[in-house]
A and B are shown apart, each in its own frame.
Chain A
Amino acid sequence: MTGSENLVEVRDLKVHFPIKRGVVFDKVVGHVKAVDGVDLSIPRGRTYGLVGESGCGKSTLGRALLQLTPPTGGEVRFDGVDLTRLSAGRLRSMRRRMQMIFQDPMSSLDPRQNVESILTEGLQAHGIGGSRDERRRIIGETLDAVGLPRWALSRYPHEFSGGQRQRIGIARALVLGPELIVADEPVSALDVSIQAQVVNLLDELQERLGLTYLVIAHDLAVVRHISDVVGVMYLGALVEEASGDQLYREPMHPYTRALMSAVPVPDPDVEDQRERILLSGDLPSPANPPSGCRFHTRCPWAQPTRCADERPVLRQIGGSKVACHFAERIASGELRPHRVTAEVVRPADEGDAPGVVSAPSEPGSYV
């Protein structure tokens, strides 16, 4: 224990996937920069929420943090230890302290294992609980914690509903007594009425066990609800980081503003009155990101100077950290938004496009 305040420190993390092409011999023709220089710290017992649209690299960041995808560069310090330099064996024993919850509980649970076997596997792998009875006790306590009945032990994943399956996924992460839990889209596969149950469960577990969370989601409302600090990602980098309230009250980065105004609120009065910032066009291809500020091609506040050729760094403005050259002048209203004409974005970009992009999305796939 170093006793430092932050459980997780990420410095200049980079994950680049090679783009390969060729008939007999694969030749690397470029890189998809899924995560390209991210700094973040997560204080002990707190929740860091990561939002962004599909393809912004948020899941890759979560996986790289747990070393499930080896980072290309940068360092990840967990409780003072740099995970990127650990040997495989040491890393394995560290894994007990950091667990992951996946999006789709159906594909992340083995359909041929019953719940008891799913939960025992991790305990055995890490040598927790000397005897069978001891393991039974730990598993029983975990089931109580996530609100599953004891008879669930002998059942198989297909016998449960989506919400209960997600509870099994949470139990599997929890059974090892981790300190950090990375939850990648923990509720997006669930129905609305079930989402709330799981969100509340995550909240309760944090209160009781003092867990630290990294919650990755595309739904800004969910993230704001459970996070102390929210980071907004765009094309592999953080564009803004602030407390949930601050971010909602005063979004500084143009992308955050657009994102905020695009989230529908279930209230007709709010919906009718809010100002909408509609972004034109789509997310550019991460294989061929725009130069300078990556958002400048879609930014309604983009300026002719600096935006296209100088990449902004995350800097402290007021209570937020913002990566925008003109954040202060936009906030003061000095700069006005202008119309942006949409650029055509290819799903697989023309020219120097990726033939195969091997970004892992499924749990258990390695690059």
Chain B
Amino acid sequence: MALLEVDDLSVTFARRGQRTVHAVDGVSFSVDAGEVVGLVGESGCGKSVTSLAIMGLLPKQPGLRVGGKAVFDGTDLLQLDDRSRRDIRGRDIAMIFQDPLSSLNPVIPIGLQVTEVLTRHRGMKGEAAAKEAAELLDRVGIPDPRRRLKEYPHQLSGGMRQRALIAMAVACRPRLLIADEPTTALDVTIQAQILELLKELVRDSGTALVMITHDLGVVAGMCDTINVLYAGRVVETARRRPLFAAPRHPYTVGLLGSIPRLDSGRGERLTPIPGSVRDLLPWPDGCAFAPRCTRRVDDCVGAPPELVLAHDDRSYRCVNPAPVPGREPDSAFAPQTGAVAAGASDAAAPAEAASREEESA
């Protein structure tokens, strides 16, 4: 039984006189205890809205509709009332945001913000809470924690603020931590520090981590399972190594092909994805990625592609997936509408055996 099971989650924003926006459109994924799961995608793919919906942090406004299920340890988070949700939030599930300055209260000392969590969920008070808070800051690598407790967020650097935020998030030893672009606002050397810290915390406490990012490099070093999102749907799910060795969905292939890599030489041409995120087809009319896809066939338009379940826990939403390297390429016109048929044809391919060159194929 998974720790968090998100099933067919959908979030729509409706506004009078405007087209309804399907920010998240039937996203399903699961997180096991102690597992690191990545949600990857470009801006507007719905990765942040997914996490906010799970946490119940979407602004309550008319026109907002959240559907589906997000079952955490047996309880559906989406059905909870605010009160019981507040009990879970911070204690069992915690979240780290992208911009530490805007998620910390600028007029309250760091210490008070950390002890607030301890008081609310662990009933600690006074000196005991302060001592625990100092230990937490020490644990996340903030030097001279006793003094830091009395300081305000503006007195800390960006990296230190992010550390303070992580300290608050792990204060109650949550079982699930959701990190929404935790390092995007930071410099690379600070990013490396924070990622290392997150890895340590996950390893030592057995906390499950949902890592939301646009950076495939970050994901490659951290996540056990990766979900690639496009236009509000998960288009490919795979374990880390198979995904990078042999991406199946053309969008994943395109993403990997368009990143300049530190270990590739000068002048090696990148293969960008043509068009922009704006050129998309609404899912009911076919595959949203079809207008930008290089492997487009006639079947792509008309109905949304079914989720194809392949071997070794991987699945993708594509009727004409990229071939697994080292194998005869699938016929471009092979009818693959049925999930079972395509899944069976995949079963023979050992994805790990794929060589590096094919990554950009």
Query: How near does chain A come to B142, taking the closest CB pair, in angstroms?
Result: 9
- A141 contacts the other chain (CB 8 A): no
- Whether a CB of chain A sits under 8 angstroms from the CB of B286 is no
B23 an interface residue at 8 Å Cβ cutoff?
Answer: no
Q: Is B21 in contact with chain A by the CB < 8 A criterion?
A: no
Q: Is there a chain A Cβ closer than 8 Å to B271's Cβ? A: yes
Cα of A199 to Cα of B255 in the assembled complex, Å? 14
B158 to A: closest C-beta gap in Å: 8
A195 touches B258 (CB 8 A): yes
Whether B217 contacts A193 by the Cβ 8 Å rule is: no
The answer to whether A258 and B189 touch across the interface, beta carbons within 8 angstroms, is: yes
Q: Which residues of A contact B256 (CB under 8 A)?
A: 266
Query: What is the bound-complex CA distance between A271 and B277, given in angstroms?
Result: 29
A279 at interface by CB-CB < 8 Å: yes
- Does B157 reach chain A (CB closer than 8 Å)? yes
* Cβ-based interface call for A9 (8 A): no
Interface stretch among A28-36, A219-227, A304-312? A219-227
Mark the stretch among A313-321, A323-331, A339-347 that contacts chain B. Answer: A339-347
CA distance in complex: A59, B359 (Å): 34
Say if the beta carbon of B259 comes within 8 Å of chain A: yes
Decide if B316 is an interface residue (CB 8 Å cutoff). no
Known: A220-B262, A347-B157. A264 touches B221 (CB 8 A): yes
A279-B193 in contact (CB<8A): yes
A225-B264, A260-B262, A266-B216 given; A191·B188 CB < 8 A: no
With a cutoff of 8 Å between Cβ atoms, the chain A residues found around residue B158 in the complex are: 282, 347
Are the CB atoms of B188 and A218 closer together than 8 Å?
yes
Query: Given that A266-B244, A276-B196 are known contacts, is A282 also in contact with B157, CB under 8 Å in the complex?
Result: yes
Complex Cα–Cα for A203 and B221 (A) = 30
User: Nearest residue in B to A255 (C-beta to C-beta)?
Assistant: B189
Distance in angstroms from A198 CB to nearest chain B CB is 8
Question: Are B260's CB and A199's CB within 8 A?
Answer: yes
Task: Assess the B262–A193 pair: CB atoms within 8 A.
Answer: no
Q: Is the CB of B192 within 8 A of A194?
A: no
Which of A16-24, A108-116, A158-166 lines the interface with chain B?
A158-166
* The one of B143, B160, B261 that contacts A265, using a Cβ cutoff of 8 Å: B261
Chain B, range 26-81, C-beta contacts under 8 Å to A: 42-43
Q: Is B98 engaged at the interface, CB distance under 8 Å to the other chain?
A: no
Q: Which of B154, B189, B259 contacts A266 (CB 8 A)?
A: B259
Q: Is the CB of A342 within 8 A of B141?
A: yes
Q: Contact: B187 with A267, CB < 8 Å?
A: no
Q: A199–B270 contact, CB under 8 A?
A: yes
Chain B CB within 8 A of A124 CB: no
Contact of A279 among B157, B189, B264, B359 (CB under 8 A): B189
In the complex, which residues of chain B have a beta carbon less than 8 angstroms from the beta carbon of A258? 189
Cβ of B156 < 8 Å from any Cβ of A?
Answer: yes
Q: How far is the CB of B133 from chain A (nearest CB, A)?
A: 17
For chain A, which range describes its interface: under 10, 10 to 19, 20 to 34, or 35 or more residues?
35 or more
Q: Please report which residues of chain B, range 206-235, place their CB below 8 angstroms from some CB of chain A when the two chains form the complex.
A: 214-221
Inside 8 A of A243's CB, which chain B residues have their CB? Answer: 266
A221 touches B262 (CB 8 A): yes
CA distance A280 to B159 in the complex (A): 10
B190, B241, B260, B272: the one within 8 Å of A268 (CB)? B241
Task: For A244, list chain B residues within 8 Å (CB).
Answer: 265-266
- CA separation between A204 and B116, bound complex, in Å? 56
Find chain B residues with CB under 8 A from A225 CB: 260-261, 264, 266, 268, 270
Residues on the A chain within 8 Å of B257, using CB: 196
Interface pair A271/B43, CB less than 8 Å apart: no
- Bound state CA distance, A163 and B359, in angstroms? 24
Q: In whole Å, how far is A103's beta carbon from the nearest beta carbon of chain B?
A: 15
Whether a CB of chain A sits under 8 angstroms from the CB of B119 is no
Q: Say whether A259 faces chain B, with CB atoms less than 8 Å apart.
A: yes
Whether B191 is near chain A, meaning CB under 8 Å from some CB there, is yes
The answer to whether A262 touches B188 (Cβ under 8 A) is yes
Residues of B within 8 A of A280 (CB): 193
In the complex, the chain B residue whose C-beta lies closest to that of A271 is B221
In the bound assembly, the distance between CA atoms of A341 and B143 in angstroms comes to 8
Complex contacts, A168 vs chain B, CB 8 Å: none
Pick from A196, A262, A343: contact of B270, CB below 8 A: A196
Let me know if A200 is at the binding interface, CB within 8 A. yes
- Nearest Cβ distance between residue B61 and chain A, in whole angstroms? 25
CB distance from A34 to the nearest CB of B (A): 16
**A192 cross-chain contacts in B, Cβ below 8 A:** 42, 214, 216, 255, 258-259
Query: Residue-by-residue, is B146-158 near A (CB-CB < 8 Å gives 1, otherwise 0)?
Result: 0000000011111
In the complex formed, the residue of A with least CB distance to B218 is A264
Q: How far is the CB of A65 from chain B (nearest CB, A)?
A: 22
A245 beta carbon closer than 8 Å to chain B = yes
Q: Of residues 242 to 269 in B, which have CB atoms within 8 Å of A's CB atoms?
A: 244, 254-269
Distance, CA A269 to CA B355, complexed state (A): 12
B112-166 interface (Cβ within 8 A of A): 141, 143-144, 154-160
A268 in contact with B220 given A192-B259, A282-B157 (CB within 8 Å): yes
Tell whether A107 is near chain B: CB-to-CB under 8 Å.
no
B240:A268 contact, CB within 8 angstroms: yes
A364 to B255, CA, bound (A): 34
Chain B nearest CB, measured from A7 CB (Å):
19
**7 residue pairs, one from A and one from B, having the closest CB atoms:** A264-B217, A196-B258, A196-B272, A225-B260, A262-B192, A271-B221, A193-B273
9 sample A-B contacts, Cβ–Cβ < 8 Å, listed by A number? A192-B258, A199-B270, A262-B192, A282-B157, A282-B158, A345-B157, A346-B157, A347-B154, A347-B157
